[in-house]
Structure 1
Amino acid sequence: MRALLVRDVMTTSVVTVAPDLGYKQIADLLVEVGVSALPVVGDDRRVLGVVSEADLLHKVEYNGADVHPGLFERRRSREAKQKATGETAAELMTGPAVTVAASAPLTVAARLMERHNVKRLPVVDDDGHLTGIVARRDLLRRYLRTDDEIRADVLDGVLSGVLWLDPIEVAVAVAEGHVSLTGKVDRRSTAQIAVRLTRAIDGVVGVTDELEWGFDDTTLQRRYAFDV
């Protein structure tokens, strides 16, 4: 049982642009490839930034208007005006680029996208070189696993592999990615761990916990923590 990593779902064939590529060529390439943003990379394949449709639209937004920043103008407005005068990828791009490691779990990529409000991330190796790109839709691949695959991970990876439980002690049913656990285990903490590990399995959209236990060891844990 191994959680999916960024390298498992990323696209390895990535169209990139050089820092000196011109405005029109960038616009043409975005339309031709059918994407909203492209990584800007140097000769060493290190990601310098990302140039997007939004970056190019600043020129349309101001369309010859005064682009000299005011003394008390907000930072975002100053940057937009600066990009409106840009002619190359280096002048138009947003940088430094927000990247993600190929070895990162999908949850890390999802949090980066949410935090920085971006739809895709350049993927880099341990040396910072571009190896691919991951988009929001790629992160959904973890939920494309079959119910049989998920059930096997619960049985072999969680119950037998981690908790050393006999398969007859816990019944596992999976329907459309939702897992139901029923049966009886020795301790309450064992049941809690089983549910928590099951939720973390790729493809699981929810867990119904119907597990019973013979001994509530969590009360002892709380009592010990209180006494200490």
Structure 2
Amino acid sequence: MLKYKAVEIFTNEEARYRNKPVADAAMQYVRKLKIAARCTVSRGVAGCSESGEITTDRLEVLSVSMPIRIYIIFPAAEMERVLDGLEPMVNDGIMVLHDLDVVCHRVRNAFFPRQLKVRDVMTADVASITTTTRLSDVVQLLLPSIFNGVPVLDPKGRPVGMVTQGDLIRKGGLSLRLGLLTECDEQCRKEVLNPMSTRQAEEIMTRPVIFIAESKPLAEAVDLMLRVGMKRLPVVDEQGKLSGMLSRLDIFNTVMRETPDWKAFAEQKVEVGDLKRVGDILRRDTHTVSPETTLDEVMRIIDSNDMQGVAVVDPQGKLLGLIADQDLLGYFQSGQEGFWQRLAKGIHSTQHNICHGDLQQCLLETTVGKVMQTDFVAVREDMLIENAISQMVEKGIKRLPVVDEAGCFQGMISRDSLLRTGFNAAM
């Protein structure tokens, strides 16, 4: 048997706590505790109180304040937390505490609460452009943004297209990813952006634009994003005007805010169904290199690697570091001939500058061990995907290496795989 407690609150519809109905305040408090608790609110059809008042649907005057019963059940270990918050709410009523012997407690994992609407999660007041916005201005707009895409609006404020990083690279002449461009100096940016200043957004924008209404359930928006392979969706109001953007990061922030402590549930013998772990979504086909691998070879691997990164391991497979194209920026002389073409057509940097002279010779002689990141975040296969999401959001990273107990590299996980697995498991 599991040791549980139950709280009953007998009150009425008129009772308030901080200008909210007591029933609403109690439910919100219990939900925010993120514990293994369930709350039920029942509205009576008739009742009487200590003052002698009678409430019934047969009396016109007093029928506006029907009796309310709030019933909350939770593990006994959580009693103090629950009572501390609920007791002050009861300014008109009775609160009762019961001991319960629970035979079993089972719950199904939910990636996020089903009642959430797009408007509850989206980022509001986002930047936008028009069809005549210059591509160089689009890039400048996106550089400091958390988004890699921007909606294109008509004169009435309605989305008619999207310009994404992919559009800028494939059709707009952008010679390197936005993340790399942020590392460039002012002269580098000018050389990249000047050729784009004569072209306009309407030439390259993706259309027709796919968007979602702010009143739609969040689950519907996530399903749409996964089906069409979009990382972000423009959000419109009832008039069809842009009201915000919904991105994977918005969804992950919601998961972090709303997800209960599943580990605590397990410790309290609560059976949680459909939980997914990192090992369920792990990509094991990711590339690895040794510290002695040359940068020439690494750059070829990165070019063909959709993860945009490579793991560095020792002969026993232990993860030593990570290397991505950004890690190469500070190891080449500013303005060195040839590096522009090799690494996304152009980087200027003043850090380290260990690579002088002939570029190709330097690439063949410089090893990964001199360039790799050694201060990295890694996760284990048995970690819940919700916890992996927290790691990504808190550290601001898009992919995570996975290691076993001995620190040996097992593969990589990405934002897309986390969203897809978590959402599908909860539906």
TM-score by length of 2: 0.29
Q: Aligned pair in 2 of structure 1 residues 104, 142: CA closer, same or farther (>3 Å)?
A: farther
- CA distance in 1 between counterparts of 2:270 and 2:233 reads 31
- CA distance in 1 between counterparts of 2:174 and 2:148 reads 17
Aligned to 2:163: 51
Summarize deviations over 1:20-78 as a string: whole Å, max 9, x none. 0011111111113242100001121100110011111124389xxxxxxxxxxxxxxxx
Higher Rg: 2
Aligned to 1:120: 232
Aligned to 2:348: none
Determine if the alignment matches structure 1 residue 145 to structure 2 residue 258: yes
Aligned to 1:90: 202
Determine if the alignment matches structure 1 residue 60 to structure 2 residue 169: no
Contact in 2 for aligned 1:147/1:175 (Cα 8 Å): no
Q: Which runs of 5+ in 1 are unaligned?
A: 63-83, 151-172, 182-202, 207-228
Identity %: 36
Q: How far apart are 1:146 and its partner, in Å?
A: 5.9
- CA distance in 1 between counterparts of 2:174 and 2:237 reads 37
Aligned to 1:223: none
Contact in 1 for aligned 2:121/2:251 (Cα 8 Å): yes
Q: How far apart are 1:18 and its partner, in Å?
A: 1.1
Q: Aligned pair in 2 of structure 1 residues 60, 147: CA closer, same or farther (>3 Å)?
A: closer
Give the letter for the 2:126 counterpart: V
- CA distance in 1 between counterparts of 2:145 and 2:258 reads 29
- CA distance in 2 between counterparts of 1:129 and 1:123 reads 8
- CA distance in 2 between counterparts of 1:47 and 1:145 reads 30
- CA distance in 1 between counterparts of 2:270 and 2:207 reads 42
Match of 2:137 among 16, 25, 33: 25
1:122 partner SS: strand
1:144 partner SS: helix
- CA distance in 2 between counterparts of 1:179 and 1:32 reads 44
Structure that is richer in helix per residue:
1
Q: Aligned pair in 2 of structure 1 residues 147, 40: CA closer, same or farther (>3 Å)?
A: same
Determine if the alignment matches structure 1 residue 100 to structure 2 residue 215: no
Aligned to 2:151: 39
Q: Aligned pair in 2 of structure 1 residues 146, 48: CA closer, same or farther (>3 Å)?
A: closer
User: Which residues in structure 2 correspond to 1:1-228 (within 5 Å)?
Assistant: 3-58=115-170, 59-60=172-173, 87-140=199-252, 141-145=254-258, 147=260, 174=265, 180=271
- CA distance in 1 between counterparts of 2:161 and 2:260 reads 40
Higher RCO structure (Cα 8 Å, ≥6 apart): 1
- CA distance in 2 between counterparts of 1:33 and 1:146 reads 27
Contact in 2 for aligned 1:4/1:142 (Cα 8 Å): no
- CA distance in 1 between counterparts of 2:202 and 2:163 reads 8
TM-score by length of 1: 0.52
Summarize deviations over 1:155-205 as a string: whole Å, max 9, x none. xxxxxxxxxxxxxxxxxx9469x9648xxxxxxxxxxxxxxxxxxxxx9x8
Q: Which runs of 5+ in 2 are unaligned?
A: 1-26, 28-113, 176-195, 273-422
1:54 partner SS: helix
Q: Aligned pair in 2 of structure 1 residues 175, 127: CA closer, same or farther (>3 Å)?
A: farther
Q: How far apart are 1:147 and its partner, in Å?
A: 3.8
Q: How far apart are 1:139 and its partner, in Å?
A: 1.8
